[in-house]
Amino acid sequence: MKLSTIFLEGLLLAGVISSPISAEDSSLESNNSTSDIIKAEGNGAPKLCFNANKSPFCLGNHNVNDCISAYKLRTGMDKKEATQTCKFWCSEIKTPTQCKQCKYKADYHPDFACDDAKYC
C-alpha cells in the first residue's frame, strides 16, 4: 500500500513539473512554423477583393515564385504547401466562383468557405 502511494505521489509530482504552467515564458513560445500572416487567414471569413498578385497574403514581390520563397523562409512551409498557398492568394479573386475555382486549381483548403467570405 505504501509503495503505491509513493508511486502515485511521484507520478503527480512529475506531471506538475512537466506541465506548461511550471515552464518559463521563453520555453512556451510557439515553434509550429506559422506566422501572423497565416494566422490572420483563419480569423473568420476574409474580404476577397483583389486582382492577381495584389492580395496582402501574396508575399514577396507579389508574384507566385517570390511568394513561394517568402512562405518557405518565413513560415517553414514545404514547397508543396507554399505553392498551394501562393497559387490561391496570388490569384484574382472577386467572386465566390473565382474563389472556388482558385481553391480547386491550387488544391488549397483554408479555414473559410468561399460562400462565407466578403467580396467587392
Helix or strand or coil: residue 50? strand
Distance CA 64, CA 69 (A): 9
pTM: 0.62
- Residue spans of the domains in the chain: they are 53-111
The end-to-end CA distance of the chain, in Å, is 71
The tens place of each residue's pLDDT in the chain, 120 residues long, gives: 554 445 446 544 444 444 445 444 443 343 344 344 444 455 567 889 888 888 888 998 878 999 999 999 999 899 999 999 999 999 999 999 999 999 999 999 998 999 999 998
* pLDDT for the residue 53: 82
- Using an 8 Å Cβ cutoff, are 117 and 79 in contact? no
